[in-house]
Amino acid sequence: MSRNEKQGRTLIGKLSGYKFMGYRLIFIKAACIDEFIKLEFFLEKDGLIESVDTDVPKNGTLPSVAEIFPEGVQMEREIAGLYPLKFIPQKKGTYREEKRDDLPVEWGPFHPLLQEPVLFRFSVKDEIISKVSAETGYNHRGIEALCIGEKIPYVLDMLERISSVNGFSTGLAFLHAVEEINEIPVPGKAGLLRLILNEMSFLRANLYSLSHITRCLGLMSDNSEIFKLISLYNEAASLISDDYQLKGILVPGGLKLDAGTETLLRMNVILQEMVQVLSSVRDRWNETPFIAQRMSNIGKIDRETAKVMTGRAARSAGFAEDTRKFSKLPYHLLSYEVPVADDSNCFTRTMLMFEDILLSLSLIDQAIEIIPDGDTIADSRIRNSGEVLVREPEAFGELVMYVSLDGGVVTDIRIRNSSSLNFSFLSQIITGNEINVVPLVIASLDYDFSGMEK
């Protein structure tokens, strides 16, 4: 047995042990050092993070961890695309030849009902999908590589443009990492303002997701109703920033924004107008049998799969995953309850979307009430070197980011958003559904491909 094989077996043994103890994989970090590729597997259970590492020579092979942690499939794909390393499936897969009576159908990569480019290849029998493969990469810009060796403001600018819906959360997670390494204190007012802006970005992301679902359902009047709410959001955001994506506000140690209480109250009044409209749309959808019937039987996720997913996919199956709990933002000052449902399907996930928007509005309202007076920026001197792993909430689940700094220069950055985890299960969720419901299923799963492909 070669050294490489021995290492692989030891790794699988260790990871199986952690799986048995109830850990889940949250992140795989890879780095190329001399002639070796160093892999570090981060595992989490109840907020406790453990890591397992291994070295593989360049052009070497490593057994895939997909059998133990299926949530790692997409992360392995990304690493195999970046480094000269191959992941070998543990079980010899029973290669199923495409049956002759199955109809191959290609969909994508560009389509009005796809929010972002992905190429789907379906095998269809009697309108039912028997096999599916999804090809990504049409969105790749190499942001992680572009950030290395750059200064913090430049990296922040780039991360804020990683995704239109989660750009603010990504930038904020990076700043939290920078502040932790350099021990920069954030003033109380700035912390709460950041929380408000973060919730506003969730609000915007969820409203766009909801508008996409209404389009997939063909409910055009509801679609224009949701777009009116987005206009309302834009009106509120324009009171504090020129940019609806809230770009260019974040700086280490605080914010480049000093919104007074009056401005925040005016903004809150505009935002709270959404509550009534959203509640009425939600109630109408709940009472309309056509919508519930159409959506309840599609995009189902079993509890075992949902357990290792993140965001609404997990919460709709009854797992009260609180992504805000591990954030450095002062969420502990506010009272909130994470919305959950019993059965993960398209309908419950959509209903949770309404609940999430209402939760964001409630958190904004609470935060504005308790916002103190004071400065919004602290003296920040970036001198230290170090590395840190941060876990922050984003609109569709949990964002994990690894940052390594040397003074004011970024030496390494790795981003794993919620879609990197949830995308591994896409084929499994779509298989067995009718081909005409695929856009609706994808819309309800909240994929953010621009954040995933970077």
Partner 1 sequence: MKWVSKIRTRSISVFVVHAGGCRDCALQFSMALTGNSEVKGITVTGNPKHADCLLICGCINDKSRKKILEIYEKIPYPKAVIAVGACACSGSLFRRENSGLHTAEEVLPVNSWIRGCTPGQIEIIEAIIRAIQNVRESDYKTVKAGVNNEQE
CA torsion through residues 125, 126, 132, 134, sign? positive
| Residue 245 contacts partner 1 per CB under 8 A | yes
Contact 422, 445 (CB under 8 A): yes
CA-CA distances (angstroms) from residue 291 to 50, 236, 296?
44, 31, 8
- Is the Cβ–Cβ distance between 405 and 156 less than 8 Å? no
> For the chain, give me the number of helices (H) and strands (E)?
16, 13
What number of CA atoms fall less than 13 Å from residue 112's CA on the CB side?
A: 4
155 or 308: whose CB is closer to partner 1?
155
162 lies in the site for partner 1, by CB under 8 A: yes
Supply the DSSP string of 269-338, one letter for each residue.
HHHHHHHHHHHHHHHHHHH-HHHHHHHHTSS-B-HHHHHH--THHHHTTT----GGGG-SSSGGGS----
Which segments of 18-167 are extended strands (E)? 24-33, 36-45, 48-57, 60-63, 85-88, 103-107, 119-125, 128-135
Q: Is position 111 an interface residue for partner 1 (rule: CB under 8 A)?
A: yes
Answer yes or no whether residue 47 interacts with partner 1 by CB under 8 A. Answer: no
Closest distance to partner 1 from the beta carbon of 149 (Å):
11
> To the nearest whole angstrom, how small is the minimum distance from the Cβ of residue 352 to partner 1?
22
> Which span (136-144, 339-347, 364-372, 376-384) binds partner 1, by CB under 8 A?
136-144
Which residue among 35, 243, 283, 342 contacts partner 1 (CB under 8 A)?
Answer: 243
- The span of 13-21, 110-118, 410-418, 426-434 binding partner 1 (CB under 8 A) equals 110-118
Which residues inside 351-410 make contact with partner 1, applying CB under 8 A?
none
- Tokens representing 201? 């970005």
For the bound state, the minimum distance from the C-beta of residue 444 to partner 1, rounded and expressed in Å, comes to 18
By CB under 8 A, residue 110 contacts partner 1: yes
Among 344, 419, 422, 450, binds partner 1 (CB under 8 A): 450
Is 201 a residue that touches partner 1 (CB under 8 A)?
Answer: no
Shortest separation between residue 256's beta carbon and partner 1, angstroms: 17
Does residue 326 touch partner 1 according to CB under 8 A?
Answer: no
Q: Is 139 a residue that touches partner 1 (CB under 8 A)?
A: yes
CB of 227 to partner 1, least distance (A): 4
Nearer to partner 1, 3 or 111 (CB): 111
**Helix (H) / strand (E) containing 401:** strand 397-406
CB contact at 8 A, 154 and 221? no
Asked if 453 is part of the footprint of partner 1 (rule: CB under 8 A), the reply reads yes
Q: Which residues of 18-28 are buried (b: 16+ CB within 10 A; e: fewer)?
A: bbeeebbbbbb
Q: Write out the residues near partner 1 by the rule CB under 8 A.
A: 109-113, 115-117, 137-143, 146, 154, 157-158, 161-165, 167, 208, 211, 223-224, 227-228, 230-231, 243-245, 247, 450, 453
